Homo-oligomer: A and B are copies of this chain.
């Protein structure tokens, strides 16, 4: 059990970051009567606007982090873009940081992720951190083209990921990045994937673990657009994916939610990436599972017993709402989207911009086809980007 709360009858959970993940975590905290404090860079961020206590500061500033930690019983994250050395200092001062700095260091570095998960025996693609163009081309020759180059840090939603068809493409990329401050680069074998999957895991400090049903994630232009739950998988593949989730969680020592993204190649699973926090691939759990990923994350970081992960319907679909054309305002379109009585809409309170993640829609149904059609129709009615 957690130490008696410093700050009153209910523990204070500090969240570094104040985006939609923190916002949905705050919603889950209300029912448990937990106090949530946010380290936010602006008072208008998605979670700051709804009433959690806000401390303004930067997750990359050691003094801000230390000041924040002193006012919380445990601190956790809604993103990984945190200064790891500062986190270590906080931990050494005796503050609870969950997941810990060691896990965050792995999660924010794709090369270390590959190394740690590979050493733990998980099926990662062939990879190499490359120092120069010759390295990159050498990797392509060894593995056979095409390959994929990625920034080691900071890329997401298809940003800072470059498929390279041949040596010419590699040389072009290198020249292009030369003009900028070139990021540390990782080269990976191209995986001829059939589908993309994700498995969510929650882990307590003791190592106790639960897993959710495996999700098929449907991507367009490198961005996850739909979650289909359960993914239609042979039982052995479902079991193997959950097992990989548990092994990844243990390998990186996560406390809280871990999302493991996987590629499915035939019936073979290949590890893509991890996130050590509530994740877009788990939004379906708010309505679709007994305990949501957000409540589960809170319970795990407080070292409280974990909740049940069972599905509550035969089929659950979540569709992401990305901002559509300029001037399209999902808030104003909301009544029209609610015409379908089954749709569950979540808007994140963000200013609408084309392509920005503004919300999501979840539908529970007896069949995947029916759930999917309702969810996609609702996103269109909300003015979401097509694609």
Q: Footprint of B on A, CB under 8 Å?
A: 1-2, 9-10, 23, 27, 30-33, 50-52, 210, 290-291, 299, 302, 304-308, 312-313, 329, 331-332, 334-335, 338-339, 341-342, 344-349, 359, 364
- A1 to B347, Cβ gap below 8 A? no
**Candidates B210, B304, B335; contact of A304 at CB < 8 Å:** B335
- A9 to B332, Cβ gap below 8 A? yes
Contacts of A345 in B (CB 8 A): 31-32
With contact pairs A51-B51, A290-B341 given, residues A31 and B304 touching in the complex (Cβ less than 8 Å): no
Secondary structure call for the A interface: loop
Give 30 CB contacts A-B under 8 Å. A1-B335, A2-B335, A23-B30, A27-B27, A31-B344, A31-B345, A31-B346, A32-B334, A32-B345, A32-B347, A33-B331, A33-B334, A33-B348, A50-B51, A51-B51, A51-B52, A290-B342, A290-B364, A291-B344, A304-B338, A305-B335, A305-B338, A305-B339, A306-B341, A307-B338, A307-B341, A308-B341, A308-B342, A312-B313, A312-B364
Instruction: Closest B residue to A360 by CB, please name it.
Output: B31
Q: How far is the CB of A235 from chain B (nearest CB, A)?
A: 22
What is the CA–CA distance of A255 and B332 in the complex, to the nearest angstrom?
22
What is the CA–CA distance of A345 and B307 in the complex, to the nearest angstrom?
11
What is the CA–CA distance of A31 and B321 in the complex, to the nearest angstrom?
13
What is the CA–CA distance of A51 and B52 in the complex, to the nearest angstrom?
6
Instruction: Closest B residue to A31 by CB, please name it.
Output: B346
Contacts of A348 in B (CB 8 A): 33
Contacts of A306 in B (CB 8 A): 341
- B9 to A331, Cβ gap below 8 A? yes
Contacts of A51 in B (CB 8 A): 50-52
Q: How far is the CB of A200 from chain B (nearest CB, A)?
A: 15
What is the CA–CA distance of A313 and B313 in the complex, to the nearest angstrom?
8
What is the CA–CA distance of A344 and B296 in the complex, to the nearest angstrom?
12
* 8 further interface pairs, Cβ-Cβ under 8 Å (given A31-B347, A290-B364): A10-B331, A23-B30, A31-B346, A33-B334, A51-B51, A291-B341, A305-B338, A307-B342
Q: How far is the CB of A315 from chain B (nearest CB, A)?
A: 13
What is the CA–CA distance of A345 and B32 in the complex, to the nearest angstrom?
7
Contacts of A364 in B (CB 8 A): 290, 312
What is the CA–CA distance of A40 and B50 in the complex, to the nearest angstrom?
18
A-B pairs, 7 with minimum CB distance: A51-B51, A33-B347, A308-B341, A9-B331, A305-B338, A304-B335, A31-B346
Contacts of A291 in B (CB 8 A): 341, 344
Contacts of A31 in B (CB 8 A): 27, 344-347
**Candidates B33, B332, B335; contact of A302 at CB < 8 Å:** B335
Q: How far is the CB of A125 from chain B (nearest CB, A)?
A: 35
Q: How far is the CB of A8 from chain B (nearest CB, A)?
A: 9
Contacts of A334 in B (CB 8 A): 32-33, 304
Instruction: Closest B residue to A51 by CB, please name it.
Output: B51
Contacts of A210 in B (CB 8 A): 341
- B30 to A50, Cβ gap below 8 A? yes
What is the CA–CA distance of A252 and B265 in the complex, to the nearest angstrom?
61
- B9 to A329, Cβ gap below 8 A? yes
What is the CA–CA distance of A2 and B332 in the complex, to the nearest angstrom?
11
Q: How far is the CB of A372 from chain B (nearest CB, A)?
A: 17
Contacts of A308 in B (CB 8 A): 341-342
